[in-house]
Each structure stands twice: as structure tokens, then as C-alpha cells.
Amino acid sequence: MPACLFFGWIVDKYDRRKNGEILAASMTLLLVIMALLCAWLYRPVPGLGVPDYVVVAVLLLAAGFALIGPYSLLAGVFAGDLGGPAAAATACSLIDFAGYCGSIVLMLVGDRGPFADGYLLLFAVFGAGAAAASLGLSCVLVCAKRRARQQYM
């Protein structure tokens, strides 16, 4: 809930035409967090003085913050921006469809190969990949909106 409130406040506080930049910033933060989680799971830092489970819990909490806030915006604000009044429900459904497809792929891959030992590594690797893909798409959104603004002027 704090992430939803925070990102909602940011969208309301700043220019509505900056939604792509907000999404790009949050996906960059998520990508950094997921990279840290992957690095920690691969090779924890000995002698840090903090138990492994505390570091993983804090990184998962930060990842949830950087993920859930923008996801709630996608389901509401961005769907209305992308689809307009006539196709907002369709845009929202397509966003949810992409999330469900990702979870199905995650479950199908999760029982095979190097990920069969634990879902935490699977979550970290696929989360980093999804964050990178979302970052790329949000950059495309930013460029498309800027181009549309320049053509409008």
C-alpha cells in the first residue's frame, strides 16, 4: 500500500505527461535491486554482520516497493492514458494478461534446470529480466510521447 500511495502521489504531483519517466525511473530502481539480489544469492558477502535472510528480506521489500507501485499505475492511470476513454478497459486487460502470461512462464520454467533448487533465484533472475524489458518499453513510451508532443507543437 505505501508504494501505491507514493507512486500515485508522484503522478498527481508532477506533470501527467511524465508518466513514462516515472515508469522508467522505477524500473531502473527495480533492475538495480534485482541485480543486487541476484549477486547476493550467487555470492553472499561474508562477515557483513547481517544474517542472509535479513538482506534478502530487505531486498525483496525494496523490489516489491519498486514493482507494485508502478503496476498499480499501469492498471489504472497508464491504461487510461494509453487506451483513452474508449479503450481503457482493453489496455488494462492487456496489462493484466501480460502479467498472467509471465507467471505461467515462471511456473513452467521453475521446475527445470538450475532453477529447480529454489524459487528465490528464479524470482531474482526473471525479475531482473522483466525489469530490463519494462525499462526498455518505458523508454520507448517516453520517446513516443516526446515525438507526439513535438509533432503537436
Helix (H, G, I), strand (E, B) or coil at 111: coil
The pLDDT, as a whole number, for residue 153 is 65
H or E stretch covering 67? helix 52-73
The pLDDT, as a whole number, for residue 58 is 92
CB 24 within 8 Å of CB 138: yes
What pTM value is reported for the model? 0.68
The pLDDT, as a whole number, for residue 142 is 75
The pLDDT, as a whole number, for residue 47 is 73
The pLDDT, as a whole number, for residue 112 is 65
The pLDDT, as a whole number, for residue 17 is 65
Give the up-direction half-sphere exposure of residue 47: CA atoms within 13 A in the CB hemisphere.
Answer: 0
Given a cut of 70, the residues of the chain with pLDDT beneath it are 15-17, 74, 78-79, 81-83, 110-120, 152-153
